[in-house]
Chain A
Amino acid sequence: MIHDDPGWYQRAVFYEVLVRGFYDGDGDGTGDLRGLTEKLDYLEWLGIDCLWLLPFYQSPLRDGGYDISDFFSVLPAYGDIDAAAGFIDEAHRRGIRVVADMVMNHTSDAHPWFQESRQNRDNPKADWYVWNDDDQRWLDARIIFVDSEPSNWTFDQQRGQYYWHRFFHHQPDLNYDNPEVAEAMLDVVRFWLHLGLDGFRLDAVPYMFERDGTNGENLPETHEYLRKVRKTVDDEFPGKVLLAEANQWPADVVDYFGDGDECHMCFHFPLMPRMFMGVRREQRFPIIDILAQTPAIPDGCQWGIFLRNHDELTLEMVSDDERDYMYTEYAKDPLMRRNVGISRRLFPLIENDRKVAELFHAMLFSMPGSPVMYYGDEIGMGDNIYLGDRDGVRTPMQWTPDRNAGFSRADFARLYLPPLMDPVYGYQATNVEAELRDSSSFLHWIKRMLEVRKQHPVLAIGTFEVLEVENPSVLAYLRRGLDADADGHEDIVLCVHNLSRFAQPAEIHLSALAGKQPIELSGRVPFPLVGELPYFITLPGHGFYWFALVDVPEPV
């Protein structure tokens, strides 16, 4: 059951799931809410605290559902409102919360609001979108999908004007300067929270307003509106959470926390490419650099951190030479590149190296923030770069070695996308059933790590302190804080990671904690006491340790 816990999202492990791709409950070749409901036991077993659903609303699906044509109904292929409510109830019964994507910035051009708005210049919805007589306004606003969109303006024959769109041309931006729009979207928020959703991941928040002489990102008006959304949530639905997708530098992203009066959570975008760089370069500086540039956040807020998600590995937040580097390192085939990112899953990115996957997850689960996993990464799923767009990382979840990866009973040809069938990542080799049987599988490893993480809430909400280590390949830090569950004693966890594939020594300066005993957390093996001299440990290639630093009991 869900317990009343206002700070739940600060400690939660999130799991991003594609309704379409998880499990097909009605045998039509497309995953649905019924199928997802059937798989909740698996997610509970794994130790997931909160599901993040990609858009499941009515949509022509020209942008994976991010082009919503009715905010108040479910895409029929996924189910209906009752199925959504039933799914949420079943999740809650298992102690799992559910947040869902909400696209505030724009709608599909198939949305009735837009259809009405484009009729002429004086209909009731005429000002619900952003119209202009020419396409020369706000030229400072960058074009986000540079691969496919020549301009942020597209001409509409019917109305004889241009409409504004920061994303695809079939996704017109809503006009938030119109109070009717602002209120209508609040009603959308109310509708779903009332139905039981535990919050929203707000898609593309920086672009909601437009102003002359600006690049149209992070405007004060946008923040003002977010405060209004937050107030509505706090007043009417306490305990629900807003998670912002703002792909910006950390120093700009923190603005979306406001003074703790805007979003509860924001994604930390630049950390992820830097983790990849650090491991590839076998040195900690790319990671340390970005953490040092990350400002403190208000009380009650939390970062969302991730390794991979449904979008490309975003390289907007790295410098040009770093981007070139990431391309050459992680996207050798031009097909792997999209816009300004890399569209690959975790395991192919790291050449199916289990040790590296463990290292990445050890960092993900111990760095400041709530980890957001991507469905299938827990079994080491691969991708299919030949599917085009972002579909390569959205193939069906691989449940069994049986037909259609156990995802659907439909004819193969009816599947929304073919499951992976290559010899390494294909469903015959990589699937949940096989990994459940094998206690040394990556799936079991992830489950155990999530258990350990849960036992030490400091890994989620403790202070974060990088430690002195002369070896540049070693990243060591302390997470510490009062442990509410342990009589208010201080809980201290030392995390040490070897970013190199070679064994490395590390002398960690810990004399301030002399006398404590490190207990390795996966096996609870006690290590020698911390003394006045630097604490010396050796790490295997890509190895890591998590230690609890505890007081040695007085001899009786």
Chain B
Amino acid sequence: MTIDDELTVLLPDFLARQRWYVGAEPPESVEIIDEVRLAEGPDDQPGLLWLLVRVPGDDAAYQVPVGLRPLDQMEKWLQGKGRSLIGDLDDDDRPLLAYDAMIDPELVPLLLEQAAPGVVEDTTTRALAVEQSNTSVIIGEEVVLKVFRRVHDGPNPDAEVVEALASTSFASTPRPVGTWRRSGRDLAVVRTFLKGSADGWQLAMTSLRDLYDRRLPPAECGGDFAPSSGRLGSLVAQLHLALAAAFGSHEADPARWLEALEAGLDDLASGDGEGLDGLDGPLVARARQRYQSLRGLTGAGMSIRIHGDLHLGQLLRSDDGWFVLDFEGEPRVPSAQRRQPSSPLRDVAGMLRSFHYAAAAALLERNEKGDAELEVLAQAWEDRNGSAFLAAYLNEPGIDDLLPNDDGVLYTILGAFELGKAVYEVGYERAHRPDWLSIPQHAIERLLR
């Protein structure tokens, strides 16, 4: 058997162990559709075999850079990293170890060379915390190499947006340094590394832990997050203005959103159309009814390229202020759809949902559900920060041009997107974090009250 043949046999189980693989079960088969030998190895040097593979029933491909070292080095390279093991191979009677090359500090720089040759002198690598749909490594404490694991034909939305923003005056996103493109597919990007940063989710949690411990109104707590929420509101408005400038804008057609929103509901409703993960039938019916309020709506503002999956975890506070990242859109949504223009209010709805998520997650963390006082505080925190965010967003000079003129229309659209986001979250939590399923369920009930 060739190495490719052996890998084809080993990869299904490997894929099933990866967080970036969308299926739950190992695929029936794996087909290698592209490959490059980036390093020969593995005598005294490791080998690097870059692969792009496809699995049946999935229109996207997966990127797997395979590291190759002598089998007796298994302990040294894979201790504590069993998830990254692909398996052992026989190469000319010499046993080889195959593994995910992203964990190998000697191989990652070879991938960096494909995307941005010679950008750093120091190639010391450091893995970033686990991500969902890609793998990032900090190199030389200066740049981040982000390898897209699930690869679609055509431009990657994240690569596309960050490059476009670099030509605008919007500076609150990491600067693009390089892109690895092959056969019309974006494989990896290199960005400047934001030193000393913490994401908005962690900072919101810090605020909420303070709140639940002090049991005072959020405005009276030391860890009040509202000033940050306000800054985030104007940051997101500036982002939208920059996206409108870079990608253009056109009169929005709410009927198109309606289709997508209804499709989201259809996906989740069980076969008989009755229930929705603990939500009763009448509630689903009310959701459909609520969406109908978009029908025939005029003056809905502009449709622009948006972030698409905006939440606190995508916002990074660094030593130089707040930054926004990850323009890939919702991972469960098909790629072509993610690049579709939409209302900027969809991102705003994402943020409002995120404030609810943070307050609820911090409550779950304390395991004190049923404590009525804390629930009141959670609601107060969410209201205070959502309002601060929204007020700053709506106050940003120029943002009016993108939004509905009529406040009634604006809040109708915003409410529909919040509902749509919560419905999406139900699907997401059901697949990934069943413990948190109650959060979006509760939101849906509240939004339809």
Q: Looking across the interface, which residue of chain B has its beta carbon closest to that of A291?
A: B319
Assess A282 versus B129: contact at CB under 8 Å? Given A289-B319, A472-B206, A502-B209.
no
Interface string of A266-308 (1 = CB under 8 A from B): 0000000000000111110100110010000000000000000
Could you tell me the distance between the alpha carbons of A509 and B138 in the complex, rounded to whole angstroms?
A: 12
A470 and B198 form a contact (CB under 8 A): yes
B129 and A473 form a contact (CB under 8 A): no
A468 and B206 form a contact (CB under 8 A): no
Kindly specify which of A111-119, A158-166, A251-259, A321-329 makes contact with the partner chain: A321-329
Within 8 A of B (CB), among A507-533: 509, 511
Interface centre among B196, B219, B224 (most CB of A within 10 A): B196
Q: Does B222 interact with chain A (Cβ within 8 Å)?
A: yes
| Residue in contact with A473 in the complex, picked from B124, B141, B206, B224, CB distance below 8 Å | B206
B203: chain A residues within 8 A (beta carbon): 283, 472
Q: Does A500 interact with chain B (Cβ within 8 Å)?
A: yes
Within 8 A of B (CB), among A467-502: 468-473, 500-502
Could you tell me the distance between the alpha carbons of A466 and B223 in the complex, rounded to whole angstroms?
A: 22
Interface string of B114-143 (1 = CB under 8 A from A): 000000000010100100000000000100
Q: Looking across the interface, which residue of chain B has its beta carbon closest to that of A499?
A: B206
A468: chain B residues within 8 A (beta carbon): 141, 195-196
Interface extent on B, as a size class?
Answer: 20 to 34
B222 and A282 form a contact (CB under 8 A): yes
A471: chain B residues within 8 A (beta carbon): 198, 202
Could you tell me the distance between the alpha carbons of A289 and B318 in the complex, rounded to whole angstroms?
A: 9
Q: Closest approach, in angstroms, between the C-beta of B433 and any C-beta of chain A?
A: 21
Assess A472 versus B227: contact at CB under 8 Å? Given A282-B222, A283-B203, A288-B196.
no
Q: Does B317 interact with chain A (Cβ within 8 Å)?
A: yes
| Residue in contact with A321 in the complex, picked from B124, B219, B227, B319, CB distance below 8 Å | B227
Assess A292 versus B320: contact at CB under 8 Å? Given A280-B222, A472-B202, A473-B206.
yes
Q: Closest approach, in angstroms, between the C-beta of A288 and any C-beta of chain B?
A: 5
Q: Closest approach, in angstroms, between the C-beta of B152 and any C-beta of chain A?
A: 30
B223 and A281 form a contact (CB under 8 A): yes
Q: Does B5 interact with chain A (Cβ within 8 Å)?
A: no
B210: chain A residues within 8 A (beta carbon): 282, 500-501
A328: chain B residues within 8 A (beta carbon): 219-220
A281: chain B residues within 8 A (beta carbon): 206-207, 222-224
Q: Closest approach, in angstroms, between the C-beta of A518 and any C-beta of chain B?
A: 20
Q: Closest approach, in angstroms, between the C-beta of A70 and any C-beta of chain B?
A: 47
Q: Looking across the interface, which residue of chain B has its beta carbon closest to that of A533?
A: B126
Q: Closest approach, in angstroms, between the C-beta of A473 and any C-beta of chain B?
A: 6
Q: Looking across the interface, which residue of chain A has its beta carbon closest to that of B128?
A: A470
Q: Looking across the interface, which residue of chain B has its beta carbon closest to that of A321?
A: B227
A325: chain B residues within 8 A (beta carbon): 224, 227
| Residue in contact with B129 in the complex, picked from A285, A469, A470, CB distance below 8 Å | A470
Within 8 A of B (CB), among A329-373: 329
Assess A511 versus B317: contact at CB under 8 Å? Given A468-B195, A470-B202, A472-B202.
no
Q: Looking across the interface, which residue of chain B has its beta carbon closest to that of A279?
A: B222
B317: chain A residues within 8 A (beta carbon): 285, 472
Assess A329 versus B124: contact at CB under 8 Å? Given A282-B206, A472-B203.
no
Q: Looking across the interface, which residue of chain B has its beta carbon closest to that of A289?
A: B319
The total of chain A residues at the interface (CB under 8 A) is: 26
Could you tell me the distance between the alpha carbons of A472 and B317 in the complex, rounded to whole angstroms?
A: 9
Q: Looking across the interface, which residue of chain B has its beta carbon closest to that of A467?
A: B196
A472 and B319 form a contact (CB under 8 A): no
Interface of B is mostly: mixed
Could you tell me the distance between the alpha carbons of A477 and B389 in the complex, rounded to whole angstroms?
A: 32
| Residue in contact with A509 in the complex, picked from B126, B198, B206, CB distance below 8 Å | B126
Q: Looking across the interface, which residue of chain A has its beta carbon closest to that of B317?
A: A285
Could you tell me the distance between the alpha carbons of A285 and B206 in the complex, rounded to whole angstroms?
A: 13
Q: Closest approach, in angstroms, between the C-beta of B289 and any C-beta of chain A?
A: 41
B206 and A283 form a contact (CB under 8 A): yes
Assess A292 versus B223: contact at CB under 8 Å? Given A466-B196, A468-B195, A502-B209.
no
B126: chain A residues within 8 A (beta carbon): 509, 511
Could you tell me the distance between the alpha carbons of A288 and B319 in the complex, rounded to whole angstroms?
A: 6
Interface string of B2-26 (1 = CB under 8 A from A): 0000000000000000000000000
Could you tell me the distance between the alpha carbons of A321 and B224 in the complex, rounded to whole angstroms?
A: 12
B196 and A282 form a contact (CB under 8 A): no
Q: Looking across the interface, which residue of chain B has its beta carbon closest to that of A534?
A: B126
B129: chain A residues within 8 A (beta carbon): 470
Could you tell me the distance between the alpha carbons of A188 and B319 in the complex, rounded to whole angstroms?
A: 45
B320: chain A residues within 8 A (beta carbon): 292
Interface string of A312-328 (1 = CB under 8 A from B): 00000000011001001
Q: Closest approach, in angstroms, between the C-beta of B41 and any C-beta of chain A?
A: 22
Q: Looking across the interface, which residue of chain A has its beta carbon closest to that of B214?
A: A501
Q: Looking across the interface, which residue of chain A has its beta carbon closest to that of B227?
A: A321
A321: chain B residues within 8 A (beta carbon): 227
Q: Closest approach, in angstroms, between the C-beta of A482 and any C-beta of chain B?
A: 24
Interface string of B181-212 (1 = CB under 8 A from A): 00000000000000110100011001101100
Q: Looking across the interface, which residue of chain B has its beta carbon closest to that of A328?
A: B220
A329 and B222 form a contact (CB under 8 A): yes
A292 and B206 form a contact (CB under 8 A): no
Q: Closest approach, in angstroms, between the C-beta of B131 and any C-beta of chain A?
A: 14
Could you tell me the distance between the alpha carbons of A509 and B206 in the complex, rounded to whole angstroms?
A: 21
Q: Closest approach, in angstroms, between the C-beta of B11 and any C-beta of chain A?
A: 28
A280 and B196 form a contact (CB under 8 A): no
Could you tell me the distance between the alpha carbons of A283 and B319 in the complex, rounded to whole angstroms?
A: 12
Q: Closest approach, in angstroms, between the C-beta of A27 and any C-beta of chain B?
A: 45
Interface centre among B203, B206, B317 (most CB of A within 10 A): B206
Interface centre among A329, A468, A471, A502 (most CB of B within 10 A): A468
Q: Closest approach, in angstroms, between the C-beta of A340 and any C-beta of chain B?
A: 19
Q: Looking across the interface, which residue of chain B has its beta carbon closest to that of A504?
A: B206
A500 and B319 form a contact (CB under 8 A): no
A470: chain B residues within 8 A (beta carbon): 129, 198, 202
Q: Looking across the interface, which residue of chain B has its beta carbon closest to that of A319?
A: B227
B202: chain A residues within 8 A (beta carbon): 470-472
Q: Looking across the interface, which residue of chain A has its beta carbon closest to that of B220?
A: A328
Could you tell me the distance between the alpha carbons of A282 and B203 in the complex, rounded to whole angstroms?
A: 9
Could you tell me the distance between the alpha carbons of A339 and B399 in the complex, rounded to whole angstroms?
A: 38
A502: chain B residues within 8 A (beta carbon): 209, 213
Q: Closest approach, in angstroms, between the C-beta of A139 and any C-beta of chain B?
A: 30
B319: chain A residues within 8 A (beta carbon): 285, 288-289, 292, 466
Q: Closest approach, in angstroms, between the C-beta of A352 and any C-beta of chain B?
A: 16
A289: chain B residues within 8 A (beta carbon): 319
A280 and B223 form a contact (CB under 8 A): yes
A469: chain B residues within 8 A (beta carbon): 196
A472 and B198 form a contact (CB under 8 A): yes
Q: Looking across the interface, which residue of chain A has its beta carbon closest to that of B231?
A: A321
Could you tell me the distance between the alpha carbons of A285 and B196 in the complex, rounded to whole angstroms?
A: 9
Within 8 A of A (CB), among B208-248: 209-210, 213, 219-220, 222-224, 227
Q: Closest approach, in angstroms, between the C-beta of B228 and any C-beta of chain A?
A: 9
Q: Closest approach, in angstroms, between the C-beta of A281 and any C-beta of chain B?
A: 5
Q: Closest approach, in angstroms, between the C-beta of A25 and any C-beta of chain B?
A: 43
B223: chain A residues within 8 A (beta carbon): 280-283
Assess A500 versus B196: contact at CB under 8 Å? Given A282-B222, A321-B227.
no
Q: Closest approach, in angstroms, between the C-beta of A304 and any C-beta of chain B?
A: 24
Could you tell me the distance between the alpha carbons of A468 and B141 in the complex, rounded to whole angstroms?
A: 10
Could you tell me the distance between the alpha carbons of A108 and B223 in the complex, rounded to whole angstroms?
A: 44
Q: Looking across the interface, which residue of chain B has its beta carbon closest to that of A473?
A: B206
Q: Closest approach, in angstroms, between the C-beta of A152 and any C-beta of chain B?
A: 33
Q: Looking across the interface, which residue of chain B has its beta carbon closest to that of A280?
A: B222
Can you identify 8 A-B contacts, CB atoms within 8 angstroms?
A: A280-B222, A281-B206, A281-B207, A288-B319, A289-B319, A325-B224, A325-B227, A509-B141
Given contacts A288-B319, A466-B196, 14 further A-B contacts (CB under 8 A): A281-B222, A281-B224, A282-B223, A285-B317, A288-B196, A322-B227, A325-B227, A466-B319, A470-B198, A471-B202, A502-B209, A502-B213, A511-B124, A511-B126
Residues in chain B within 8 A of chain A (CB atoms):
124, 126, 129, 141, 195-196, 198, 202-203, 206-207, 209-210, 213, 219-220, 222-224, 227, 317, 319-320
Q: Please list the 3 inter-chain residue pairs (A to B) with the smallest Cβ-Cβ separation, ordered nearest first.
A: A472-B198, A280-B222, A282-B206
